[in-house]
Every structure is written in structure tokens, then in C-alpha cells.
Structure 1
Amino acid sequence: MDGPIARNAEGKVQVAAFDFDGTCIQGNSPVMLVRYLVRRRMLSPSVVARILSWAFAYKTRLPQNEAWVRGLVFRAFAGRPVAEVNGFLRDFYDQVIDRRFRADAEAEMAAHEEAGHAVVCVSATFEPIIAAAMERRPIQYAIATRMRVDFQGNYTDEVEGEPIEGPEKVVVLRRLCDELFGADGWELAWAYGDHHSDRAMLAAAKSAYAVTPDRPLTRTANAQGYDILEW
């Protein structure tokens, strides 16, 4: 965190919450990670086939097990030390993701930070990827999907808790901000998302922005009067 956090006339911290994939960056970081792992032969063909079948069903908007597919991806890292995997994912971010960070997203985050707002990234992607983004971009706080670590300090292929997806984003955002600013000490003033799974977070904000939205979110944005941003 770089800039000081201010409070408004009511004594509340104003929070600006950003989705990551498709909002802050162009594309989907877990999908790019799978390609990255496949090129390095770190995922078996059978695991890749199962991930692809999940992706097809997800694209057709069928209900899917979010934790299951993240576990499949993390089979590439199961049994490996946390520091080693985090370093690998930091390199992946630097080589693949960072150049896809949208200039408009960075400018919006920086403007919020300069105004004293709390900038929070709320993402379903893996926590080390967001940690790398925090080192390079104006993200003050973040919540992302955390993978379980065993007693030896090695990653497993199981999600710790729930993937940060859909309504869960609102749950974890509220929990984080309550801890940081007090239960009555903050408000979700702005939220930015690109996907229909971001509807709950956008609905919870005083001002909602649909960023290059998919078709279902475009319909919601038009119906609810959300601003649509083409980043």
C-alpha cells in the first residue's frame, strides 16, 4: 500500500473493488497459465483434457465446480514448496500477464489511490499471481483463490476455503474490509467487473462499472443503469 487511506464526511473509508481477469487485464490468467504449463509439459494430457471439458461447459454457462478445476491446474505444483511455486508464478506473471495489464485500469486505480480510496482487487485467480500484480501495479489490498498448504510447507491441489468467484467475492470483500476498517467504517463506493459472475459485487456497490462486459453482464448493466467502460 502506497497512498494514505482517507475517510469521507461520514467517517467511512471508500472502497474501490476491481475484478482482475478481463477487467484489469486483457484475457484470463488461469487460461494463460494452463497454456504456459502445457508448453512446459507440466500437466498430463488427461488432466488437460479434463480442464478443456470444464472450460467448454463453463463457456456454455453450465454450473461448474470452480474448486475442482483449480485443483486440476495446481496438480502441476502439488508437493512442491510454497516459495518455489510462488517464484514460478511470479515469473509467469512477469513474462505473460503484466504486459496485458490495461492502461485504463491502472489509471483508474491510481486515481482512486491518489484520492485516498482503498483499492482492492478481488479475483478468482491464484493468490501468487495477484501478489505479483500488487508489486507492480497500484493495488493496495487483494483477495484471491488460495491453495492449501500441507504441514511440510508444500502446496496441495486443493483449494483453501472457497474459490473467490461470484457471490463469494462480496463475502470475502466484506470480511476483509470489516477487519481493516471496522464493520461500520467503510462502504463499497465503486466496483468494476467484466463478467456475469461479477454481478453480485457490482450490485453491492454504490457505483458499478461493467468493463468490456460479456453479453449477460451487458444486459444487466443496461437494465440496472451501470456505466459501461470499453477498456
Structure 2
Amino acid sequence: MRSVAIYDMDKTITRKATWTPFLVHAALTRAPWRLALLPVAGIASVAYLAKVIDRAQLKQATHRLMLGRAIPPADLDAVAEAFADSVAASNMFDDARARVEADRAAGWEPVLATASHGYYARAIAARLGITQVIATEARRDADGNVLAGIEGENCYGPAKLRLIEAWLAREGLARGDVRVRFYSDHVSDAPVLEWADEAFAVNAHGPLRRLAAARGWAVLDWEG
């Protein structure tokens, strides 16, 4: 039986969320004038909080504002690699690194499953030696340029479980063929935590901490 340890990324592996810092990093690197559009991005965030737009629409709007309509993949890769270096240097829990290594040594294959865009999540995962990444994916045009639109589903909430199940299918695995550990900080990942054989609430906020207590899930508080 294959053993898979699946990790959420933002505030589970990383100390802080990564999307807005990535957008700022990308704008500074490619087109600093786009930083003047941050207030517009803030309005989009308010629209999300008011439930005028959903998370996927917010992600698409802020991508378009801060990165532009279309980005050559080589340019985006360079931005993502530099951003991943900064995350590894100052925005990653030492305990998360240690847990990934301990799981790997115990025979668990590490997988990253995140709502973050794959174009930078894969670079962050690589700093942990993780090659399997399930993430939100961007559309591309006929020339391969990365667009603001999302391809498929935003990898969040119930959609994350569907995308994990799709990954298992691509790997040729039925659910009964694999033992799964899942680590997350947020209650939005409850569908995957319920589905996993071993659930870990990591650095959990209040709602997840209460759910973990009710379900008997392990609670981990990572420092450093």
C-alpha cells in the first residue's frame, strides 16, 4: 500500500499566507508601476468579503492587476524561483521542514495540496524536496503564456478533495490502495481532513481547533 502525506501550504508549511506577497514580489520584479494598483486590488478583496465575488474571481482579478494579462512562462518561472527562495529563507516553519523529512524517512511520500497557484507553489515545494503538487492552475494561451484565468477549479474547500482524488486517479490509485495523512491549519480543509486516514490540525485557528477536538484529530503547534 502506498503511503502519502499531504500538506496544505499557507500557514501550514509557511508562517504567513503567500498570495499577496507573491503579487507584490512579481510587480516589483516585472513592473513596479503596478504597485499603484494595490488599492484596486484592495477593493476586490472588499468585494470578496462582501460576497460579491468568490475566491476564484478574487484570485483572477488580483492576478490581472498585479501580473498583467499574459506572462511568458520563462519570465514567470524566474519570478517564482526568486520568490520561493525568499519563502524558504524567512517564511517557512522549521517544524514543517522537520515533519516532511520525518514522514519521508518513515516511508510517506510528501505531496503539497494548496489553493495557491501552481506556478509558484511548485517552486516552494521544490525547496522541501516535494515533487508532487496539487494546486490551482492558470489558463495559458496558444503560445503558452500564463493568463489570469483559472484552469479548472480553485483548489480550495471541497474542490481540494476533488483535485486530490483526480491526482490519485492519474497515479492509477484507488482510495483503498493508499494510506493518507493530511495536514492543514484551516477549517476549509475539513473535507480532506475527514477523508484522510490520519488528520492533523496544524497551527489551527479556532474553528478548526474546535472541530479537531470533536473529531479526535491530532493537533500540532509548529514553532520556529
Which residue identity lines up with residue 5 of structure 2 in the other structure? A
Partners of 1:178 and 1:98 in 2: CA distance: 35
Q: For residues 45 and 218 of structure 1, what CA distance do their matches in structure 2 show? A: 33
- How many angstroms does 1:77 deviate by? 3.5
Paired letter, 1:119: P
Residue 48 of structure 1 corresponds to 41
Moved more, 33-42 or 97-106: 33-42
TM-score between both structures, scaled by the size of structure 2: 0.87
The one-letter code matched in structure 1 to 2:91 is: R
Q: Relative to 1, partners in 2 of residues 1:48 and 1:63: Cα closer, same or farther, differing over 3 Å?
A: closer
Bigger drift between 155-164 and 180-189 goes to: 180-189
The 1:229–1:72 alpha-carbon spacing in structure 2 relative to 1, beyond 3 Å, is: same
* Residues 17 and 63 of structure 1: CA distance in aligned 2, closer, same or farther (over 3 Å): farther
Superposed displacement of residue 189, structure 1: 2.5
| Contiguous gaps of at least 5 residues in structure 2 | none
CA–CA distance in structure 1, aligned partners of residues 38 and 180 of structure 2: 45
Could you say which residue in structure 2 is the equivalent of 1:84?
Answer: 75
The 2-side partners of 1:50 and 1:122 are apart by 28
Corresponding position of 2:25: 36
Please state how far the C-alpha of 1:86 moved relative to its aligned partner.
Answer: 2.0
Is 1:186 matched up with 2:180?
Answer: no
- In the aligned structure 2, how far is the partner of 1:51 from the partner of 1:186? 43
SS, match of residue 116 in structure 1: coil
Choose which of 2, 5, 14 in structure 1 pairs with 2:3.
14
1:209-224 equivalence runs, <5 A: 209-224=200-215
Q: Distance in 2 between matches of 1:82 and 1:37?
A: 13
**SS, match of residue 149 in structure 2:** strand
Q: Is the contact made by 2:117 and 2:137 (CA closer than 8 Å) also made in structure 1?
A: yes
Shift of the alpha carbon at 1:45?
4.4
CA contact (8 A) 1:211 1:228 kept: yes
Structure 1 unaligned blocks of 5 or more: 1-11
Q: Which has the higher helix share?
A: 2
Q: TM-score scaled by structure 1?
A: 0.85
% identical equivalent positions: 27
Counterpart CA distance in 2 for 1:134 and 1:181 is 23
Q: Paired residues, what number?
A: 216
Q: Please give the root-mean-square deviation of Cα atoms over the aligned residues, in Å.
A: 2.2
Aligned-residue offset at 1:206: 1.2
What displacement does 1:92 show? 1.7
**d(CA) in 1 for partners of 2:134, 2:115:** 8
